[in-house]
Structure 1
Amino acid sequence: MADIETTTVSEDGYACTSQVGDFDLQIDATDETGPNPNAALVATYASCYLPAFRVGGSQRGEDDLGKVQIDASADLDDDDDLEAIAFDVHVEADLDDETAADVAERAEGICHVHSALREGLHADISVYPNAF
C-alpha cells in the first residue's frame, strides 16, 4: 500500500478536483475555479518550507520566531514550465544574519517538497528578521 493516495477527477474542461484524504483540492489550468498547477506547486512548496523553517529555528535554539510569512514568486519559461522560485521569508524574531542563514539552510534539509524538486528549481531564499 502506498504512503499517499489521491484521486483526481475532471468532469469537463481543464479544472480538476483532487481528493487528498478528507480534503478536496481544486486546481484549474485556466485559473478560473482554482489556482493553476504551477501556482499550486509554489504554494505547496512554501507551505512545506515554512514549518520546516520553524523546526530549523528550534534546532538552532530559536523557539519563538513569532509570525513567519513567505512571499513566494516564480518565473516560467517559454513553455510555461517553472524555471525559478524565490522565497522572501519575513520573520518577526530579531535574528542575526548568521542565524537566519543557518535556519534557512536547515529548513531546506527538512522540507520534503524541497527534496522532491529538481535541484535547479530549489527556491532562492532571502530571510528578513525583525519584519513585523
Structure 2
Amino acid sequence: MSDIETSTVSEEGFTSTSQVGEFELTIDALGEDGPDPNSVLVADYASCFLPAFRVGGRQTGNDDLGRVQIDAEATLDDDDDLTSISFDIHVEADVDDDTLADIVERAEGICHVHSALREGLHADVTAHGDAF
C-alpha cells in the first residue's frame, strides 16, 4: 500500500493537471498555463524547508520566530536541468548567526524534500534574523 497517490493528466500540449488528494495543481512545461516543473520543485522544496526551519527553531528554544520568508533562486544548465538552488531566509525574530546556523542544520535534517534530492542539489542556505 502506498503512502502518497497522485494522478496527472495531459489532454494535449505540455500542460498537465495533477490531482493530489483533494487539491488540483496545473503545471506547464512551457510556463504559460502554470508554473514549469522546475519552478514547482523549487517552491515545493522551500515550502517543505520553511516548517522544518520552524521546528528547528523550537528545538533550539526559539519558539516564536515571527514571520519567516524564504526567497529561493535556482540555476539551470543548457538542458534546463536544475544545477543549483539557494535559499535566502528572512526571520522576523532577532536571532544571532550561530543560532540561525544551528536552526538551518536542524531543518536540513527534518525537511523531507531536502532528504529526497541528490546531495549536489541541496539548497545553499543563508538566514537573516531581525529581518522585518
* TM-score of the alignment, normalized to the shorter chain, above 0.5: yes
Counterparts of 1:7-86 in structure 2, within 5 Å, are 7-86=7-86
> Mapping of 1:71-110 within 5 angstroms?
71-110=71-110
Structure 1 stretches of 4+ moved >2 Å? none
- In the other structure, the counterpart of 2:124 is 124
Q: Could you tell me which amino acid in structure 1 is paired with residue 116 of structure 2?
A: A
Question: Structure 1-normalised TM-score?
Answer: 0.99
Structure 1 residue 78 displacement after superposition: 1.1
TM-score by length of 2: 0.99
User: How big is each residue's C-alpha offset from its partner over 1:13-68, in whole Å with a ceiling of 9 and x where there is no partner?
Assistant: 00000000000011000111110000000000000000000000000000000000
Structure 2 Cα separation of the partners of residues 90 and 97 of structure 1 = 12
| Structure 2: 5+ residue stretches without partners | none
How far apart, CA to CA, are the structure 2 residues paired with 1:34 and 1:52? 27
Aligned length: 132
Structure 1 residue aligned with 2:2: 2
Corresponding residue for residue 111 of structure 1: 111
Identical amino acids, percent of aligned pairs:
71
Q: What secondary structure, in the 3-state scheme, does the structure 1 residue paired with 2:54 have?
A: helix
Structure 2 CA distance for aligned equivalents of residues 92 and 102 of structure 1: 17
1-structure distance, mates of 2:33, 2:61: 42
Amino acid at match of 1:120: G
The alpha carbon displacement at 1:92 in A equals: 0.2
The alignment partner of 2:103 has SS state of helix
